[in-house]
């Protein structure tokens, strides 16, 4: 390996591979890579593929006439996603600060395109997908990170004015407001809540005065509560969450079936592929409620392992953010790494909480594991940006 590096880099020193890698450009992705972060994401995606296959085969065989229908598509999207990850992790992540406005504008345009008849597709009562040429894409997944990129840009470039309410609070929400409004129109209340929570977290990390944060949080809670209880189906979700046994065959059916699956799993589970709830009892078994299938087939040990995998992912992501601030005083890298990590972390634990009956149903997928092509590709894109931040010392001189 040393000989190879000598041939590639004339100034290579024998003292350490790390020293050489810190002095040269990026010829290959392994240089400066946060390998542990990459490995935990790879493990979660591979495990997710196994669980998508296990949870969808019978359903796909019955509904599509092909048991491999869902897993085949998920494999293709996983390949695309990792290709995107490898491309993005080679890029200078600081470019996303320059591109924050165009990316947000593009994502907002895609959200508006959903409203166009013949292009926007309605599934399960929500219009969240663009359907073109046999391909389906969910723009809300891209919009989530586009807004986070924009918030990181604003908090970095206007860091000297964050003690004013205009710059410290309003600046993060005014420009993305059309995108947030379009998300609510779909409706996609869960993604809107995740985005808002991440932006507030970034403002806290950046040091926006607490009086502004508390006031803005109270206003956001009032608006969120009004949206939750002011719409019939959302109010029904909240009431079902409080007591699903009042309508066990209707609105409470899904969460009760989730409970049954988790109960059947006990400590070690009934065995991979042997779960019964996925056999047309549990709706969205390969999608929003795949965590319940994991609990039934792999038991308490399986779900604890998954939870620790997400906790480790969050640790690695926040470690990258900490190193940006500590070693390079790189505010944008710190904010962007924090935003990406918290967005994926919040969504993971909201999904898990829904399956466990701790919060009302939100319609959010489990990152890296649930079936869903656009979600998987965009999540791996975000991980690619996170890895590029981890390798940022190659850019910052």
Higher pLDDT, 363 or 176: 176
Mean pLDDT of 169-173: 86
- Statement: residue 10 has pLDDT above 90: no
Q: With 90 as the cut, is the pLDDT of residue 160 above it?
A: no
Residue that is written with structure tokens 């994926």 in the block: 344
Residues 234-248 have a mean pLDDT of 81
Q: What is the mean pLDDT of the chain?
A: 86
* Predicted local distance difference test score (pLDDT) of residue 117: 82
In a domain, 157, yes or no: yes
Q: Does 241 or 37 have the greater pLDDT score?
A: 37
Res. 373: pLDDT tops 50: yes
Q: CB within 8 A of 122, min separation 6: which ones?
A: none
Q: How many domains does the chain have?
A: 1
d(CA 333, CA 153): 10
Residue 31 banded pLDDT, cuts 50, 70, 90: low
Quick check: is 51 in a domain?
A: yes
Nearest of 324, 331, 320 to residue 158 by alpha carbon: 331
What is the extent of the structural domain holding 119? 31-394
Whether the per-residue pLDDT at 14 is higher than 60: the answer is: no
pLDDT over 90 at 25, yes or no: no
- In whole angstroms, how far apart are CA 35 and each of 163, 168, 317, 329, 387? 38, 35, 12, 23, 9
Mean pLDDT of 217-237: 80
Least confident of 10-24, 37-51, 220-234: 10-24
**pLDDT tens-digit readout, 77-96:** 999 999 999 999 999 999 99
Chain centre to alpha carbon of residue 311? 14
Model confidence at 302, pLDDT cuts 50, 70, 90, reads: very high
Mean pLDDT, residues 341-367: 92
Confidence (pLDDT) at 166: 81
Is residue 56 in a domain? yes
pLDDT band at 9 (very low <50, low <70, confident <90, very high): very low
**Cα(255)–Cα(395) distance, rounded to whole angstroms?**
48
Tokens describing residue 129:
């997908």
The answer to whether residue 309 is domain-embedded is yes
Q: Tell me, what's the pLDDT at 162?
A: 78
Contact between 158 and 167 (Cβ < 8 Å): yes
Span of 33-37, 144-148, 293-297, 340-344 with lowest mean pLDDT: 33-37
CB 337 within 8 A of CB 158: no
The pLDDT confidence band at residue 32, using thresholds 50, 70 and 90, is low
Whose tokens are 């999540």? That residue is 379
SS3 127: strand
The reported pLDDT for the residue numbered 301 is 96
Lowest mean pLDDT among 114-118, 139-143, 212-216, 312-316: 114-118
Residues 6+ apart with CB under 8 A from 287: 365, 370, 371, 372
For residue 348 the two structure tokens come to 């993971």
Domain presence at residue 142:
yes
Of the candidates 156, 116, 165, 159, which has an alpha carbon nearest to the alpha carbon of residue 139? 116
What is the spatial distance between Cα 265 and Cα 294, in angstroms, rounded to a whole number? Answer: 8
Residue 4 within any structural domain of the chain:
no
Q: Is the peptide bond before 187 cis (omega within 30 degrees of 0)?
A: yes
Q: Rounded to an integer, what distance in angstroms lies between the CA atom of residue 37 and that of residue 383?
A: 9
Residue 66 has pLDDT above 70, yes or no: yes
Q: Would you say 153 and 144 are in contact if contact means Cβ atoms under 8 Å apart?
A: no
Banded model confidence at residue 20, pLDDT cuts 50, 70, 90? very low
pTM of the predicted structure, to 2 decimals: 0.88
Q: Indicate if the alpha-carbon torsion angle 235, 199, 180, 112 is positive or negative.
A: negative
Least confident of 28-32, 74-78, 316-320, 355-359: 28-32
Q: Which element (helix H / strand E) includes 379?
A: helix 373-390
124 pLDDT band (50/70/90 cuts)? Answer: low
Are 278 and 58 a contacting pair, CB within 8 Å?
yes
Band (pLDDT 50/70/90 cuts) for residue 311 is very high
In the chain the first and final C-alpha atoms are separated, in Å, by 26
Tell me the angle at which helices 139-157 and 177-185 cross, rounded to the nearest 10 degrees: 160
**Per-residue pLDDT at 239:** 81
Mean pLDDT of 259-278: 93
Q: Which two tokens stand for residue 35?
A: 């390998």
pLDDT at residue 21, as a whole number:
36
What is the structure's pLDDT at 17? Answer: 33
pLDDT score recorded for residue 96 = 94
Q: What 3 state SS string does 312-355 have?
A: HHHHHHHHHHHHHHHHHCCHHHHHHHHHHHHHHHHHHHHHHHHH
7 located within any domain: no
Does a structural domain hold residue 10?
A: no
The region of weakest confidence among 26-40, 186-200, 252-266 is 26-40
pLDDT in the model for residue 118: 79
């Amino acid at each position: 390996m040393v000989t190879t590096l000598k041939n590639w880099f004339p100034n290579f020193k024998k003292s350490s591979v790390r020293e050489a890698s810190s002095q040269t450009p990026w010829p290959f992705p392994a240089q400066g890579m946060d390998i542990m972060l990459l490995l935990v994401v790879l493990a979660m995606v591979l495990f997710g593929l196994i669980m998508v296959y296990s949870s969808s085969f019978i359903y796909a065989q019955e509904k599509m006439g092909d048991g491999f229908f869902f897993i085949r598509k998920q494999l293709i999207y996983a390949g695309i996603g990792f290709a995107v990850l490898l491309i993005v992790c080679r890029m200078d992540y600081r470019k996303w600060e320059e591109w924050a406005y165009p990316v947000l504008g593009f994502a907002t345009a895609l959200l508006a395109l959903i409203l166009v008849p013949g292009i926007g597709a309605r599934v399960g009562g929500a219009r969240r997908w663009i359907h073109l040429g046999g391909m389906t894409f969910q723009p809300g997944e891209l919009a989530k990170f586009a807004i986070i990129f924009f918030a990181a840009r604003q908090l970095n470039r206007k860091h000297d004015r964050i003690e004013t309410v205009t710059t410290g609070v309003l600046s993060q929400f005014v420009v993305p407001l059309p995108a947030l409004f379009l998300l609510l129109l779909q409706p996609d209340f869960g993604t809107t809540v995740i985005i808002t929570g991440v932006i507030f977290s970034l403002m806290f990390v950046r040091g926006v005065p607490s009086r502004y944060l508390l006031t803005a949080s109270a206003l956001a809670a009032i608006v969120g509560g009004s949206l939750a209880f002011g719409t019939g189906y959302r109010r029904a979700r909240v009431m079902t969450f409080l007591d699903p046994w009042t309508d066990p065959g209707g609105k409470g059916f899904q969460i009760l079936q989730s409970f049954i699956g988790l109960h059947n799993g006990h400590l070690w589970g009934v065995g991979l592929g042997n779960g019964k709830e996925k056999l047309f009892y549990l709706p969205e078994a390969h999608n929003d409620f795949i965590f319940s299938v994991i609990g039934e087939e792999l038991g308490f040990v399986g779900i604890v392992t998954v939870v620790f995998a997400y906790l480790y992912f969050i640790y690695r992501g926040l470690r990258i953010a900490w190193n940006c601030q500590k070693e390079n005083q790189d505010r944008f890298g710190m904010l962007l790494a924090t935003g990406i990590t918290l967005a994926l972390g919040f969504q993971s634990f909201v999904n898990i909480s829904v399956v466990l009956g701790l919060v009302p149903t939100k319609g959010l997928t489990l990152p890296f594991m649930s079936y869903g092509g656009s979600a998987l590709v965009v999540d791996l894109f975000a991980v690619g940006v996170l890895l590029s931040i981890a390798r940022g010392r190659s850019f910052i001189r």
